[in-house]
Amino acid sequence: MLFNSHVYIFLFLPAVLAGFFFLNRLRWVQPAKAWLVLASLLFYSYWNPRYLLLIVASMLFNYALGTAMARHEKGGRANPKAVLIFGISINLALLGFYKYSDFFIENINALAGTDFSFFRLALPLAISFFTFQQIAYLFDSYKGETTEYDFLNYCLFVSFFPQLIAGPIVHHKEMMPQFARVKNVFFNWKNMAMGVFIFSIGFFKKVVVADSFAVWATAGFDGADVLTFFEAWASSLSYTLQLYYDFSGYTDMAIGSAYMFNIQLPINFNSPYKAVNIQDFWRRWHITLSRWLRDYLYIPLGGNRKGPGRTYINLFLTFLLGGLWHGAGWTFVLWGGMHGAGTALHKWWQDKGMRMPKWAAWLTTFLFVHFAWVFFRAQSFDDALKVFRGLFGLSGFVLPEGLGAAFGWLGNYGVEFGEALAGIDGGSTAASMLLLFGLIAVAAKNSLEIGACMRTNKRHLAFSLVLFTYATFKLTQVSEFLYFNF
């Protein structure tokens, strides 16, 4: 089920809210939690009921291991380190089987000349997210940082539908105290208003902004055989902004939905295109994934404890594996390697005490992120090369026809005059939206900053209604969030 669908907005979410607060009003706290768990599993299985068993089995397995490690602290016989290694291995094996088996077979066939058959498995929705979340839980259990071992609470921690599909990747200690807080079981008008306010912003971002950019990005990356200079920049910037507004829109809708249940999810997106270095970017983009990679990959690899050279290697390996986590393809590996090399280079630059003007630092960071997104989006290296040829002017220039009279002499240098964005079905609308929403992304307040100023008054209510109503009328077809693919 998608947040940006009529069934979620007008049926599922209101019904779950009504049931949850009605049961709590009767002081049926445990049944209310069970209702929320069942609703979350329905939310998950709506996409493909066959994979419901997978997430339930994963929860049972990891809960049993966490409980076993807890019993060891009370005199149980289980070896916690062996349990931890076993649990992580099984979780990663499951993720690897569903997500990377065909990628592995494809490369074996290419290298060895074999002809092994592909499994052609449909990727279970959210498997990357609930696997990482439960690995974090096992680590926390091993370190004795989890104190809650009630099975119903654990199921709610894993399956809570606002954060189930694409994050944030939450820690046990962030969520369970909130579900246990007595005042959180009762309806709260202020939290409901905040939830609707933030949800409406995210809904508008996804349906009106991100889905508009998707048209031009798809036309450029997947449709056009050749991209001229302006077409390449317009289509690649369209994807850069599509991904920004798509993911930030999802995050807002997740945070808004959780607020309606009096639950505050951790911040997961904080104006990443305002970053002035690559480390700053990853402190703002998918913040909970960056935290997970730091705590459960970078630090176990040695972090910065073994000298500068090892630090640079650890940074590179962390982002390389983070790239592979995003998708089973060499374009994702290259994207992760680019960010790993960029982060290591920034660390070296910092260690040498070098600085650059803030505007230059921002421009360098944005262009680096933008160029890396080309590999992230491209279906193949050939598609990426097509875009880069256009970006660097190797596939020709087309200027607006109206400039022909004044700059016709440029025709001697191969410049043509006509519809500058014809190859991606763009025009003045595409150019205007790129300018407007590009400026908003790099200069305006983000949803969290706007939400912090929100008041339960008529002005903010009207703002929410306008955004929500306009987005609802634009919701002619439901489109998936981009991060559902990962």
Active site residues: 326
**Spatial distance between the Cα atoms of 230 and 399, rounded to a whole number of angstroms:** 8
In order of 43, 201, 297, 328, 456, the CA distances from 162 in angstroms are 10, 16, 26, 26, 23
Whether residue 206 contacts residue 250, with contact meaning beta carbons closer than 8 Å, is answered with yes
- E-strand ranges in 100-224 read none
Write down how long the chain is.
Answer: 486
**Spatial distance between the Cα atoms of 186 and 260, rounded to a whole number of angstroms:** 11
**Spatial distance between the Cα atoms of 170 and 129, rounded to a whole number of angstroms:** 10
Whether residue 221 contacts residue 383, with contact meaning beta carbons closer than 8 Å, is answered with yes
State the maximum Cα–Cα separation within the chain, in Å, rounded to a whole number: 87
Whether residue 210 contacts residue 54, with contact meaning beta carbons closer than 8 Å, is answered with no
Whether residue 198 contacts residue 256, with contact meaning beta carbons closer than 8 Å, is answered with yes
Q: In this structure, how many other beta carbons lie within 10 angstroms of the beta carbon of residue 112?
A: 9
CA-based Rg of the chain, rounded to a whole angstrom?
A: 24
**Spatial distance between the Cα atoms of 30 and 59, rounded to a whole number of angstroms:** 18
Whether residue 417 contacts residue 400, with contact meaning beta carbons closer than 8 Å, is answered with yes
Q: For residue 367, which of 397, 342, 347, 404 has the smallest C-alpha distance?
A: 342
Dihedral, CA atoms, 307, 312, 316, 319, nearest 10 degrees? 80
In order of 64, 286, 302, 411, 454, the CA distances from 138 in angstroms are 10, 22, 20, 65, 38
Query: What's the number of CA atoms in the CB half-sphere (13 Å) around residue 20?
Result: 25
**Spatial distance between the Cα atoms of 188 and 176, rounded to a whole number of angstroms:** 19
